[in-house]
Amino acid sequence: MKYVKQLAIILAICLLGELTVRFLPLGFPGNIMAMLILAILLVVRVVKEEHIRETSNFLLEVIGLFIVPVSVSMMAHFELIGQIWWQLFLVSLVTLLLTFASSAFTIRLTMRLINRKKGVQS
C-alpha cells in the first residue's frame, strides 16, 4: 500500500504540472512544471523525501524502459535527422556546456552558502 500512496503523490504532482501549463500562458512542458512544483514542495517540506523515496528510486532504476520507445521511434525519422545532424550536434554541444557551467555555478553557490551558515569564510 505504501508504494501506491507514493505513486499517487508523484502522479498528482505530474497532473498538477500539466494542469498548470494548460491553464496558464507558460511556454514549457508540464513535466518540467511538475518537477519545479515537486522541488518547491520538497524545499518547503510539504512533501518529504520519505513520502516518495522508494517509488522514485524504482522509477529511476527503470528509466531506460521509458527512453527505449522514444529512441526507437526516432529511427523512423532517420532521414530528417540525417539532414539536420549538424544543427542537433551544435544544440547538444551548447546545452552541454551551459549545463556544465550552471552545475558548477550551483555547486559553488551551494558550498558558499553552507560555509557561510557554518561560519566559515571562503
C-alpha cell at 98: 551551459
* Model pTM score: 0.62
Distance, CA of 32 to CA of 44 (rounded, Å)? 19
Domain residues of the chain, as ranges?
1-61, 75-122
Distance, CA of 51 to CA of 38 (rounded, Å)? 12
pLDDT in tens, the chain (122 residues): 899 999 999 999 999 999 999 998 878 899 999 999 999 999 999 999 999 999 999 999 999 898 888 888 888 888 888 899 899 999 999 999 999 999 999 999 999 999 888 876 55
